[in-house]
């Protein structure tokens, strides 16, 4: 018996509706009662061809007073989701009124387009954030690698903390940190505390770039060789000479002046 009932139900077909209407009816401003009314209008239209079903019939199916059905129809029209229009009946040759749900589906299309646009924006934002995280990780790994190669060993957690503080806390550029490392290595002072002292001294002197730091070190070396003389680099000598003339050549020179 149950199988026959199920077969009878299936033989009468199904009502076609966009699933997005079910997922997004709240966002369109529909109440549950208004959604049921819309589903009934679709059902009548698709199953029996009635595009303008009697309100009494709708009220009977919804088990609600006719006045409430009228209120829901008026509410849908006020929200711009339902229209009452007329079309030519090919059987009678006369115009007849119909409930038109085109405004609802137009609004649904706009809503879905906005949803897709937001999803694309979220995807692009997450993709961009992932690339930033990846770049930061690669830069972090690269500076760790430079220091580990120079020190000939893995960095301790405290030394890694120095690097994080210089880059993220003090906002020193990587070039400036590399230059401080180079300055320390040239003096055979492979010590994070010594490098930190160099960076703090440069901060006091308002030195912010690797070039400025290189020139300061060169001038300091020149003053030590020639006590009492005020040795200053000429502006035109800054760029090329500062990038090449220093005590000791290192394998990360190309990272300093970038």
**pLDDT per residue as tens digits for the range 199-252:** 999 999 999 888 898 888 788 777 666 665 554 444 444 444 444 444 455 656
State pLDDT tens for residues 90-128: 666 678 889 999 999 999 999 999 989 999 999 898 888
Sign for the CA dihedral angle at 17, 23, 27, 29 comes to positive
Ordered by where they begin, the domains of the chain are: 2-110 (1.10.10.10), 155-256 (1.10.10.630)
State pLDDT tens for residues 44-59: 988 888 889 999 999 9
CA atoms within 13 A on the CB side of 171: 1
103 in Cβ contact with 83 (< 8 Å): yes
- Least confident among 12-26, 134-148, 181-195: 134-148
Query: Residue 139: what pLDDT?
Result: 64
> H-helix or E-strand containing 58?
helix 55-62
Nearest to 257 by CA among 243, 246, 238, 247: 243
For the whole model, what pTM was predicted?
Answer: 0.50
Residue 258 has pLDDT above 60, yes or no: no
Query: Residue 238: what pLDDT?
Result: 44
Whole-angstrom distance, CA of residue 143 vs CA of residue 156:
14
């Amino acid at each position: 018996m149950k199988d026959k009932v199920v077969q009878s139900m299936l033989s009468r077909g199904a009502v076609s509706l966009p699933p997005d209407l079910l997922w997004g009816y709240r966002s369109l401003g529909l109440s549950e009662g208004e959604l049921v009314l819309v589903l009934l209008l679709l059902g009548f239209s698709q199953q029996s061809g009635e595009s303008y079903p009697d309100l009494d019939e709708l009220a009977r199916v919804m088990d609600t007073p006719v006045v409430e059905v009228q209120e829901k129809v008026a509410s849908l029209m006020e929200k711009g989701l339902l229209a009452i229009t007329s079309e030519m009946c090919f059987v009678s040759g006369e115009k007849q009124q119909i409930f038109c749900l085109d405004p609802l589906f137009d609004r649904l299309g706009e809503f879905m387009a906005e949803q897709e646009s937001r999803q694309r924006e979220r995807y692009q934002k997450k993709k961009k954030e992932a690339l930033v995280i990846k770049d930061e990780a690669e830069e972090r790994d690269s500076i760790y690698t430079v220091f580990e190669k120079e020190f000939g060993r893995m960095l301790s957690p405290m030394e890694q903390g120095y690097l994080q503080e210089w880059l993220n806390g003090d906002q020193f550029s990587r070039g400036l940190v590399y230059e401080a490392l180079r300055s320390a290595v040239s003096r055979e002072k492979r010590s994070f505390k010594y490098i930190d002292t160099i960076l703090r001294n440069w901060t006091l002197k308002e030195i912010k770039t690797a070039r400025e730091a290189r020139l300061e070190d060169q001038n300091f070396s020149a003053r030590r060789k020639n006590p009492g003389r005020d040795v200053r680099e000429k502006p035109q000598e800054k760029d090329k000479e500062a990038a090449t003339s220093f005590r000791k050549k290192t394998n990360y020179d190309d990272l300093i002046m970038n």
